[in-house]
Amino acid sequence: MNNIFSLPSNGNSADWVMFAVMVLAIGLAVGSVAIWAVVFRPKSKKRKHKHHRKRHHRQHNPTLAETGGLPPMRAPNEPPPGP
């Protein structure tokens, strides 16, 4: 049985030629990808500044703990404050 991933064991030159063609094709494909990755790949758009400015975050709505808690309790017969 002829295994495609093994070296040709007999002295048949056609087997060696096919093996060489397969190795050359794989090498050409890997080499092409490597050359593309080094030469033609789009450059990243990272900024290369020495000093980075920190963005000021937008103010958030304060929590009840930050504002001092809930307002005082209202009497049951008092209407809620309105606009």
- Extract the tokens encoding 63: 């929590």
**pLDDT per residue as tens digits for the range 42-53:** 776 666 666 666
pLDDT at 18 over 60: yes
The C-alpha atoms of residue 63 and residue 8 are separated, in whole angstroms, by 76
- Extract the tokens encoding 62: 């304060």
pLDDT for 64 equals 81
Query: What is the phi-psi region of residue 31: left when phi exceeds 0, alpha when psi lies from -120 to 50, beta otherwise?
Result: alpha
The C-alpha atoms of residue 47 and residue 42 are separated, in whole angstroms, by 15
The helices-and-strands tally (H runs, E runs) of the chain is 2, 0
pLDDT for 28 equals 96
